[in-house]
């Protein structure tokens, strides 16, 4: 979809939530971008600009059941979705069928759900960025653990520990799973073990452990543990703003990319 405006026209699912409001504020502060549509389960009919404290934007909050029609009427170029897996699994293909590009930061999507979204992207000739983490720092974190895994190989055991706030619904985090997949690929394929209990002697698996508590934004630590030494590579998120910046960067980037393609955040960061 190409809008009549020279600005990239952005829609948000979950617009009234914490992440949604932060993204809206960042879009409004970014040259060449504007908010064209907003969707949520609450505040239907209210102006999203007034909800986020940015003044009237003449963009009412719409119900997601009207997603396709509102996206078309508003000439939205790209839809950003950081909600929950069941909602994203339904809404992303609908948006793609409306000719709208996608930025998906929802975690907990099943392999089947991801495949259905990718199929919709290709079928409807739009572009999408799907990533478990939109932080630029996490992009560097992923590169560091990939390089470490190539150097260290099977001589070192690998454990991944992630910690998030007590409201996060899925475990382990998408970022932790992505980290495990990167390391597994670099090491030629590894089994994942999620936590341990009872008699469970360690083999050559990658251990993944989840901690939930308080208001932790997101901590990820990868431990390469050898005899007499260990290497730890850690990323700590201090604020959700790091994800917001990456998501808005991706939204501006994706509209000019080859259609029918699903990209990762590493593509955005080149």
128-148 tens-digit pLDDT: 999 988 998 998 999 999 999
Dig out the tokens for 154 from the structure: 């099977």
Q: What is the 3-state secondary structure (H, E, C) of the chain?
A: CCCCCCCEEEEEECCCCHHHHHHHHHHHCCCCEEEEEEECCCCCCCEHHHHCCCCCCCCEEECHHHHHHHHHHCCCCEEEECCCHHHHHHHHHHHHHCCCEEEECCCCCCHHHHHHHHHHHHHCCCEEEECCCCCHHHHHHHHHHHHHHHHHHHHCEEEEEEEECCCCCCCCCHHHHHHHHHHHHHCCCCCEEECCCCCCCCCCCEEEEEEECCCCCEEEEEEEEECCEEEEEEEEECCCHHHHHHHHHHHHHHCCCCCCEEECHHHHHC
> 41: pLDDT confidence band, cut at 50, 70 and 90?
very high
Query: Rounded to an integer, what is the distance from CA 45 to the centroid of its chain?
Result: 27
Whether residue 4 is predicted with pLDDT greater than 80 in this model: the reply is no
pLDDT digits (tens, 9 = 90+) for 85-102: 999 999 999 999 999 999
| Res 177 pLDDT > 80 | yes
For the chain, percent of residues with pLDDT exceeding 90: 90
Buried b (16+ CB within 10 A) or exposed e, 247-269: bbbbbbbbbeeeeebbbebeebb
Mean pLDDT in residue range 34-45: 97
pLDDT of residue 240: 86
Averaged confidence pLDDT in the chain: 94
Rg (CA), the chain: 20
Distance CA 86, CA 97 (A): 18
Percentage of the chain with pLDDT > 70?
Answer: 98
Report pLDDT for 5. 56
For residue 8, the tally of other CB atoms under 10 A from its CB is 23
Give the pLDDT band (50/70/90) at residue 215. Answer: very high
256/2 Cα distance (integer angstroms) = 10
Q: Are 100 and 77 in contact (CB under 8 A)?
A: yes
| Residues known to be catalytic | 164, 168
Can you tell me the distance from the alpha carbon of 69 to that of 32, in angstroms, rounded to the nearest whole number? 24
Looking from the CA of 95 toward its CB, the CA atoms found within 13 Å total 32
């Amino acid at each position: 979809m190409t809008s009549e405006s020279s600005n990239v026209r952005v829609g948000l699912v979950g617009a009234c939530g914490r992440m949604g409001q932060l993204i809206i504020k960042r879009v409004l502060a970014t040259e060449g971008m504007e908010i064209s549509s907003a969707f949520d389960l609450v505040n239907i009919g209210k102006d999203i600009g007034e909800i986020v404290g940015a003044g009237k934007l003449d963009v009412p909050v719409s119900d997601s059941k009207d997603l396709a029609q509102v996206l078309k009427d508003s000439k939205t170029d790209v839809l950003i979705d950081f909600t929950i897996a069941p909602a994203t699994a339904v809404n992303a293909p609908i948006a793609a069928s409306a000719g709208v590009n996608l930025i998906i930061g929802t975690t907990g999507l099943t392999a089947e759900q991801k495949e259905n979204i990718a199929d919709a992207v290709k079928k409807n000739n739009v572009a999408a960025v799907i990533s478990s983490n939109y932080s630029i720092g996490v992009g560097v974190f992923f590169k560091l653990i990939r390089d470490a895994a190539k150097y260290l190989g099977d001589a070192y055991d690998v454990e991944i520990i992630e910690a998030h706030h007590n409201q996060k619904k899925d475990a382990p985090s998408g970022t932790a799973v992505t980290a495990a997949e990167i390391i597994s690929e670099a090491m030629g394929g590894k089994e994942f073990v999620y936590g341990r209990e009872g008699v469970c002697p360690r083999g050559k698996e990658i251990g993944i452990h989840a901690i939930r508590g308080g208001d932790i934004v997101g901590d990820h630590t990868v431990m390469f543990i050898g005899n007499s030494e260990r290497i730890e590579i850690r990323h700590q998120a201090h604020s959700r703003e790091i994800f917001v910046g990456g998501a808005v960067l991706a939204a501006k980037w994706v509209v000019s990319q080859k259609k029918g393609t699903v990209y990762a955040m590493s593509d955005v960061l080149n």
